[in-house]
C-alpha cells in the first residue's frame, strides 16, 4: 500500500515535468522586452527577459530577443574584448532555439535571425568571409521557413533587406552570389519589406518598428532616396533623435 502511494506521488511529480515542451511564447513581457531593446533601452529589456526566464523557463523567446541586445552592443560599440567574450553565445543560443517544436514558424525564423545578426557583427570585426557564409546559412534557413509557412510575414521582413542588398551586386560578381544561391533584386526586396509595413497582421505588428528601421536604412543607403525616407519619417512620426547608449 505504501509502495503504491509512493509510486503515485512520484508519477504526479515526474510526469508533468517530463511532459513539458519548450516553445516560443511572444507574450506581453517578451514584447515589452523586444520593444525596449529596439529602442536601445538595453538594460530594461534584459531585466524583463531575465524575469521571463525565471518564471517561464520553457519559453525560448528570451534567448532570441537577447541576441538583439548583443547585436546592438557589438555592432555599434565595436569592442574587440566584448566580441571575444560574447561570440560563443551565437552557438549557445542556436542550440537553445533548436529545442523548440519544428512545426512552429518561430523554429527556423529565430535561428535565421540570429545567424543574420551575427553575420553583420562579423563584418564589423573584419571576418568578411565568415560573414558571407553566415548570410548564406541565414538566407537558406529563412527560405526553408518561407516554404513551410508562406503566411508568416516576419520571413519577408528579413528576406527583404537581404534581397535588396543582393540586388546591388555588380554584374561582374553575380557569379559568386549565384554559386552561393543568393538571389534577389532591389525591387523584390523592397516589395517584401513593404508588405510587412503595410500589413495589419498581428504578428507583423509586433515587428513593425524593426521593419521601419530596415526600410529607412535601405531607402537612404541602398536606393539613395532621402526625400522618400523623410516623407516616411514624417508620415510615421518617427523619433529621429540619436540615442547614445552603453552596454
pLDDT greater at residue 149 or residue 15: 149
Residue 5 burial class via C-beta count within 10 angstroms: exposed 0-12, middle 13-18, buried 19 and up: exposed
What does the alpha-carbon distance between residue 126 and residue 90 come to, in Å, rounded to a whole number?
Answer: 17
Q: Output the pTM of the full model.
A: 0.87
The CA distances from residue 142 to 65, 70, 77, 83, 162, in Å, are: 17, 21, 28, 25, 11
* 116 Cα distance to chain centroid: 8
Please state the separation of Cα 237 from the chain's center in Å. 24
Residues 118-138 have pLDDT tens digits of 999 999 999 999 999 999 999
How many CB atoms within 10 Å of residue 239? 9
Cell 523623410 -> residue:
230
Averaged pLDDT, 22-28:
97
* pLDDT digits 0-9 by tens, 142-187: 999 999 999 999 999 999 999 999 988 888 878 778 888 888 999 9
Amino acid at each position: 500500500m505504501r509502495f503504491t502511494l509512493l509510486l503515485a506521488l512520484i508519477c504526479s511529480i515526474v510526469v508533468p515535468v517530463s511532459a513539458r515542451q519548450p516553445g516560443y511564447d511572444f507574450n506581453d513581457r517578451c514584447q515589452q522586452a523586444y520593444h525596449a531593446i529596439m529602442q536601445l533601452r538595453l538594460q530594461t529589456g534584459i531585466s524583463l527577459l531575465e524575469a521571463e526566464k525565471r518564471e517561464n523557463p520553457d519559453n525560448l523567446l528570451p534567448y532570441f530577443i537577447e541576441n538583439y541586445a548583443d547585436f546592438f552592443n557589438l555592432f555599434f560599440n565595436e569592442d574587440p574584448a566584448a566580441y571575444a567574450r560574447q561570440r560563443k553565445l551565437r552557438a549557445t543560443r542556436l542550440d537553445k532555439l533548436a529545442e523548440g517544436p519544428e512545426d512552429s514558424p518561430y523554429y527556423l525564423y529565430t535561428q535565421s535571425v540570429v545567424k543574420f545578426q551575427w553575420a553583420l557583427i562579423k563584418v564589423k570585426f573584419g571576418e568578411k568571409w565568415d560573414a558571407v557564409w553566415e548570410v548564406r546559412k541565414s538566407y537558406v534557413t529563412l527560405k526553408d521557413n518561407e516554404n513551410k509557412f508562406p503566411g508568416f510575414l516576419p520571413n519577408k521582413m528579413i528576406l527583404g533587406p537581404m534581397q535588396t542588398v543582393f540586388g546591388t551586386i555588380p554584374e561582374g560578381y553575380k557569379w559568386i552570389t549565384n554559386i552561393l544561391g543568393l538571389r534577389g533584386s532591389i525591387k523584390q526586396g523592397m516589395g517584401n519589406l513593404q508588405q510587412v509595413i503595410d500589413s495589419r497582421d498581428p504578428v507583423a505588428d509586433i515587428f513593425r518598428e524593426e521593419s521601419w528601421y530596415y526600410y529607412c536604412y535601405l531607402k537612404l543607403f541602398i536606393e539613395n532616396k532621402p526625400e522618400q525616407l523623410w516623407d516616411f519619417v514624417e508620415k510615421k512620426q518617427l523619433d529621429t533623435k540619436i540615442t547614445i547608449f552603453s552596454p
